[in-house]
């Protein structure tokens, strides 16, 4: 059984993914972020059909501490943030998932 990609965030953020064929999404209006973003993210993290959850890096600031921790530590589904500063977070997720740092040789 294949799992789906899901995206959560503002309508502007999710529209591009929807046009690319992503069928699972949660639009959270800017005004409702403090109250609805936690529920939307928790719902996608607990959806057994979702394999990857994507959100904008800036939206992490709007999550409660518990939901943010769940998002950042989730292995299944995998979580990805896009936007400023997400590169090092993705590197740490890969390192944690496979047990080695793929960029280790470049650091010597």
Q: Three-state DSSP class for 35?
A: helix
The class that CATH gives domain 4-103 is alpha beta
Q: Three-state DSSP class for 22?
A: coil
One pLDDT digit (tens) per residue for the chain, 108 residues: 678 999 999 888 899 888 888 999 999 987 667 778 999 999 999 999 999 999 988 888 889 999 999 998 898 899 988 876 545 555 666 666 556 665 555 444
Q: Are 25 and 50 in contact (CB under 8 A)?
A: no
Domain ranges of the chain: 4-103
Neighbours of 23 (CB within 10 A): 11
Alpha-carbon span 91 to 18, nearest angstrom: 26
């Amino acid at each position: 059984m294949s799992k789906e990609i899901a995206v959560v965030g503002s309508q502007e953020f999710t529209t591009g993914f929807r046009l690319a064929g992503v069928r699972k999404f949660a639009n959270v209006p800017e005004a409702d972020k403090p109250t609805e973003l936690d529920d939307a993210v928790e719902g996608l993290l607990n959806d057994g059909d979702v394999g990857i959850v994507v959100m904008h890096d800036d939206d992490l600031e709007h999550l409660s501490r518990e939901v943010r921790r769940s998002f950042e530590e989730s292995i299944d589904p995998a979580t990805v943030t896009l936007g400023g500063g997400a590169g090092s977070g993705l590197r740490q997720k890969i390192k944690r998932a496979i047990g080695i740092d793929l960029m280790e040789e470049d650091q010597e």
